[in-house]
Amino acid sequence: MFERFTEKAINIISMAQKEAADSKTFKIYPEHILLGVLETKSNICSRLLAYGGMNADDFREYVYKKYSDVSHEFMHTNIAFSQGSQKLIKLASELAKKKNSYIMSEHILLALILTAESAKSELLQDFNRYGVDIEKLKQTLLKLIEKNNKKNETHPELERKKDKSEYSTVQSIFKEGDAKDILERAVAKLTASHYEILGTEQIVQSILEDTNSDLTKLLNESGIDLEKYTGKLQEVSSRQAEFEEKQIIFTPNAFKTMLLAFETAKELGSASVKPEHIILGVLKAKSGIAYNIFKELHIQDDDLAHKIIKPIEKQMPETLTILRLAKREAQSMNRNIVGSEFILLGIIGEGAGIGAKVLSQLGITIKDARIEVEKVLGYGNSYTFGEVVFSDRAKKILEIAWEKAKKHKNTKIASENLLWAITQTPDSVAMQVLSNLGVDVLEINQGILKELEELKSSEA
């Protein structure tokens, strides 16, 4: 029933249910929904009603008294929507459907007004009791809904110019650490197999040869051991699955896999690419000899990915928390694209990192930042429950933060790295939001340096 309701619209219905329960009314009436609009302070509809003269406390007392004769002892699970409330919710859905939109708080209030205007409606008396000009309110709501529908659904950060070739990015992955060792072992296999181009099969085989690593043990438990993998590899008579484009030092699928490994490392908050990121890259690429062998060994992609990510999650990397919050913020605004602005909200929402502390000291609150993001983007109307992806600008910020962490020889990307990266992208929505809130780059960077110096002093 409520699949297409935005978070704020759901909050209104939840508040209506709460009010009905608190008053021990056995049904949720339209007045409870109107009270829910008034009670949900963070949406524009409650402010419009307040400007019109309605008061939540006074109206609650009126509603409780009105339905006191139908109150009785009951379990909260017994509350049902009255026939009038069901019609009202259906009307709100129909209003949104006309514009192929999600049901927002504006649609609910507009449905309340249209219901009030219909014959024999007690809601009209409720509005008149407070002197609300419902015609004026209706026109305001129609304009707000139209404005939201006209918002450009294409995120402003979807496209950016590449600052350097992807090929050079892949090369830099293998310069140090575990990834360097994997590459050296993989390259050593090329001569033996009479190939000159590195494929996913050699990369994964090199990972499996490190018998002491936790990842190899996990892969063995999942049914991917070196013996089985090598046996399947020997059965491969052709490399056709690896070639889709021109030949380079990596096969195209190995190239794609390593780029995905690089992206995965950043999203999980790591300042270096590790073997587990490469395996996750293979699973995301869904192509190439290594992936085909996984399928022959009856490996379930999601199950294996979950087993790999679970130990990382237990470490609670700061960036992983921030990006999860960023995705949640995007979803709350009906967006499938996580732009720089949602990373900014994630930094603030995380609360404990240096990035959050710096912004807090500059007077930036999550509430004010959300309002500014809403002003820039509005609410999306095309959200689907599929994968949430990062905008190009958000990916660029992750890349800058990754490079910053590596430069300072850190093993993880921290919140201050992300915040600093935002300041290096002046054309991002995040910087537009910060500018609107009266904060500039110099203040942010000075705040970061100050916090780092204090942290260093406390550890000395």
In sign, the C-alpha dihedral spanning 405, 411, 415, 416 is negative
Q: Is 166-314's fold the same as 318-459's?
A: yes
Domain ranges of the chain: 7-150, 166-314, 318-459
Helix H segments across 297-436? Answer: 301-314, 318-332, 340-350, 354-361, 366-377, 392-407, 415-423, 429-436
In terms of Cα–Cα distance, which of 1, 16, 5 is closest to 96?
Answer: 5
pLDDT in tens, 85-107: 888 888 888 888 766 567 888 88
Six token digits for residue 144: 């707000």
What pLDDT score does 377 carry?
A: 79
CA 41 – CA 145 distance, rounded (Å): 19
What pLDDT score does 192 carry?
A: 58
Give the predicted TM-score (pTM) of the model: 0.47
H-helix or E-strand containing 426? none
H-helix or E-strand containing 80? strand 80-81
What pLDDT score does 273 carry?
A: 79
Radius of gyration of the chain (CA): 28
CA 260 – CA 281 distance, rounded (Å): 5
pLDDT in tens, 15-61: 888 888 887 777 888 889 999 888 886 678 888 888 888 888 888 88
Contact 261, 273 (CB under 8 A): yes
- How many other C-beta atoms are found inside a 10 Å radius of the C-beta of residue 60? 18
What pLDDT score does 460 carry?
A: 61
Amino acid at the residue 48: L
Q: Which CATH architecture has domain 7-150?
A: Orthogonal Bundle (1.10)
What pLDDT score does 152 carry?
A: 46
What pLDDT score does 310 carry?
A: 81
What pLDDT score does 156 carry?
A: 64
Residues of the chain below pLDDT 70: 1-4, 41-42, 69-79, 98-101, 119-120, 148-178, 187, 189-198, 236-250, 271, 313-316, 379-388, 459-460
Six token digits for residue 147: 């404005």
For the 318-459 domain, the top CATH level (class) is mainly alpha
The domain made up of 166-314 is a member of CATH 1.10.1040.10: no
Coil/strand/helix, residue 68: helix
pLDDT in tens, 435-460: 888 888 888 888 888 888 888 877 66
Amino acid at the residue 1: M
